[in-house]
Amino acid sequence: MNTHALSDFLEFSAEVAAARAAGQPIVALESTIISHGMPYPQNVQTAREVEQIIRAGGAVPATIAVLGGKIRIGLSEAELELLGQSPEAMKVSRRDLPYVIATGRIGATTVAATMICAALAGIRVFVTGGIGGVHRGAETSFDISADLQELARTSVAVVCAGAKSILDIGLTLEYLETQGVPVLAIGQDNFAAFYTPDSGFKADFRIDDADQQARFLQTKWALGLAGGVVISNPVPETDAMPRAEIDAITEQALREAAAQGISGKSVTPYLLARIKALTEGRSLTTNIALVKHNARAGARLALALGR
């Protein structure tokens, strides 16, 4: 039988390899946001700017994707461009990783898959836009993002602007509580709602300071409590969308998706694109702002963990 070592599947960029050798803090970034989360060319432009923010914060960015049968930890400019312009790029979660690697397809990693790949690479901090969660109507559809199960089992801190507002945020938090996943909030007591700072639901703990966040993570993992931590970093008020407006638009987009029979992993890209159209592009501006804001918080946390 052909046995592969884990190292056979991981390939580090020169920048990330050098950072690992030097013991520098590294921040993982997902690639679904590039392939499925934003239109071209804003997707590639944002990816580059987010990487630059992490470098400016004193850490090294590692954008993760699957290319040529390898999990790539850190991408070149050309590879970011390829992901941003490849409609055939697969949206890869836990179940899809073996298929995409084995077949050599282009794979853009979701929150769940990026957590797995970051953990394999020894990276403890991951920055994204918003986590997946329990979809509205999940009591009949059973549509629950694999991100939540991954948070229960994979020991990576996920810095996000809360959960996407298209989800049932109350049920998402209930599910995380059941799975023992702590939800930390920065700058406020409540959990964030992606396009708006406040979901109306409380987070478990408010910890504003990066050193204290790092102490929390180290304590959790030292106790043998495996699994991730959600760090909710609300979009700045100046970049947020009015809550009543985004709620109404989300409801409309959800009705349209249901009418068209859109389901499964196609739902989120459809809703994000529809919300962008209905807000005349303002939701995309907010999306870009919140990812950059998360990158700053992620760099601070990675530095603190390194200390």
Helix (H) or strand (E) holding 194: none
Q: How many angstroms separate the CA atoms of 125 and 58, rounded?
A: 14
Q: What are phi and psi of 225, to 5 degrees?
A: -90, 90
Catalytic residues: 30, 164
Give CA–CA dist 145/283, Å, rounded.
22
Q: Which of 53, 52, 64, 61 is nearest to 18 (CA)?
A: 61
- Burial code of 245-276, b = ≥16 C-beta within 10 A, e = fewer? ebeebbeebbeebeeeebeebebbbbbbbbbb
Give the single-character DSSP code of 111.
H
Q: Are 171 and 157 in contact (CB under 8 A)?
A: no
Whole-angstrom distance, CA of residue 174 vs CA of residue 191? 12
Cis peptide before 234 (omega within 30 of 0): no
| Cα Rg of the chain (Å, integer) | 18
Give the pairing type, strands 229-232 and 183-185.
Answer: parallel
Angle at CA 264, nearest 5°, toward 261 and 265? 120
Question: What kind and span of H or E run contains 124?
Answer: none
Please list the alpha-helical segments (H only) found in 154-281: 169-178, 210-222, 243-259, 267-278
